[in-house]
Structure 1
């Protein structure tokens, strides 16, 4: 059984109590809570531990919460799994997301489950969304496990100051949370980017990888090169195209999206790292609703879905808001679904403007 609940109560303890009441009738092995940064993270962690003492409890702060049929701001959502759905969840925290030795040590502590059957085991990862270290962390993690880790970077309601993750009563920053979930009925991973190639490419020839900045594309100042590629007459006009015309590292026809964030004179800063000398395709946005509807239909045809954890890029959320389509998007999720608007998504690596989802089968 999977149950979900939400609260719009601005008082943290009251919101948790509303959620606990709604989740009565299930004895959970795992409870996942996503909460607005306006809530007190330590109170969320403490209360979750108190209400579900026999359960693993974990979660993170958001830039918007998602539950079946609704996209929220300033609220709290939760998903509870019973032993029939998730008989075991192993949870570990790397308390310094940028420390390779700690990543290795924590992965060793999880044991051989990191090399378990990928048809029944899935990794969940939640990371500090202001750390700037997601690429480093996921690269190291990928070398230490055979499992696919899906998740996202915590948000803080677009303040871009500080985010939090928590596990079993303890709140962390500059950290990454790992949970290995055993789902005997099976798992499916859903990923939608809602972009297509334009036929134009830009190759980063000078980068500041640690700062997620591109100084030059194809030997030209990055700002000028991007402006020309999108057909803009000024940097200001080009900046308005960031959301609809990001760049993508292509794997066949599948883009791993790199979203521009800001111009700093002629330097282009991205929401995730860009590697030098690897061509990037200029992308054009397609329809989020159509792509999501099709992806969900494909997954449902492959097996009946009991519930979905959804990690949805904040840029996609902002696009849906600008089009007044948040209700239509959330309405696509007719099975129990909980998620949040992220500062970056995880699927093998760190990506942008993507929805990554874990679908648990019945």
Structure 2
């Protein structure tokens, strides 16, 4: 396996590293919405790698090696020696279609030798929980699913996904990896601190939260946000919600807000908020967020099956909320990840509206929010 990194500059793709262009079978690209909406970003990448499957998405920030960029586009082209690939895509109009769309993707890619699926999804119209369930329903239990939800900075306006064509809204794309030589490692860790009382989810539907403890959810959030309530929904990223089953001592999973409704005082999240669950607000701690990124890298590295004669690719998907909180310290979480991996591991990624990875404790694939999630791709 060999990989080369590129960056979009002066209306063209330039090599970011010293590697020459390779005969790639797969290219990932991640960039600002206003840039990847331009057809030339895709077409000029296709000109460089005419035989490759090309997948990409809009972001809330771009990651390449130890840098975090804003308003740019980055790409990685990969040549595999022993691995075969296939891609699938579907379009979605609203979150209620998420499960069925996931089933279609899973069914299309479920072929002999499938080891892993990497997903890039619309970040606004999708219910990530249902999407993952739908994909998983069509696959053997040992197939690894990872990926993320596309972003649009802190604007929450529109998100774009590309799959062998121009980047478009409402699209979900996936690539399947096949064969005995591909190895996928993954890790996902947050680093947020819970605070305040446990609150019961008393009214919700799918990924829409209406009431906590019988009171409008949006009113509760506004109470904690104070003056920043005027900046909703982006300001709610400072106080994500952790949910867990009632009477459970599980750590729970974190949910990020995508939209709010003043009309019914509801909040739409990237994944399910089941009625009867307990919810708790969370707040940031700089050092804990960076330590969480390091832990995610360590978990991923512990599964490493790297080939000393080849290269590996680490795809980092971190949440936009972490980026807003870390501010000028944002590169620290990327640097700490890089310090864990060996020197023949390249890094690329983006800041997202949701992360897809197995739960470290249960092993089940879930939608995560406010985590650093890493997918490590290696050929053995």
TM-score tier, shorter chain, comes to 0.7 to 0.9
Gaps of 5+ in 2: 307-311, 339-344, 358-364
- Aligned pair 1:63/2:60, yes or no? yes
What displacement does 1:171 show?
3.6
Provide the C-alpha distance between the structure 2 equivalents of 1:165 and 1:100, rounded to a whole number of angstroms. Answer: 18
Instruction: Output the TM-score relative to the length of structure 2.
Output: 0.78
Pairing of 1:29-44 with structure 2 (within 5 A): 29-39=25-35, 40-44=37-41
Counterpart position of 1:330: 334
Gaps of 5+ in 1: none
Show CA shifts across 1:207-257 (max 9, x none): 244xx44222122333455678x6x88995998984454221248644321
Distance 1:62 1:22, change over 3 A: farther
CA contact (8 A) 1:42 1:171 kept: yes
Counterpart position of 1:269: 267
Pairing of 1:227-266 with structure 2 (within 5 A): 236=229, 242-250=236-244, 253-260=250-257, 264=262
Show CA shifts across 1:13-53 (max 9, x none): x1x2x149965253222111112212144222222222211
Counterpart position of 1:280: 279
Provide the C-alpha distance between the structure 2 equivalents of 1:202 and 1:49, rounded to a whole number of angstroms. Answer: 50
Greater CA deviation, 56-65 or 296-305? Answer: 296-305
Distance 1:26 1:255, change over 3 A: farther
Q: Please, which of 356, 371, 374 is the counterpart of residue 346 of structure 1?
A: 356
SS at match of 1:200: coil
- Aligned pair 1:312/2:322, yes or no? no
Counterpart position of 1:9: 9
Distance 1:196 1:5, change over 3 A: same
- Aligned pair 1:89/2:93, yes or no? no
Greater CA deviation, 61-70 or 23-32? Answer: 23-32
CA contact (8 A) 1:201 1:280 kept: yes
Q: Please, which of 68, 72, 76 is the counterpart of residue 75 of structure 1?
A: 72
Counterpart position of 2:199: 202
What displacement does 1:309 show?
0.7
Tell me how many residue pairs correspond in the alignment.
346
Show CA shifts across 1:30-80 (max 9, x none): 111112212144222222222211222111121210011100011111122
CA contact (8 A) 1:223 1:265 kept: no
Distance 1:58 1:8, change over 3 A: closer
Distance 1:200 1:227, change over 3 A: farther
SS at match of 1:108: helix
Show CA shifts across 1:94-123 (max 9, x none): 13362765544443332334x84xxxx221
RMSD: 3.3
- Aligned pair 1:151/2:158, yes or no? no
Provide the C-alpha distance between the structure 1 equivalents of 2:283 and 2:185, rounded to a whole number of angstroms. Answer: 27
SS at match of 1:81: strand
Provide the C-alpha distance between the structure 2 equivalents of 1:58 and 1:265, rounded to a whole number of angstroms. Answer: 37
What displacement does 1:5 show?
2.1
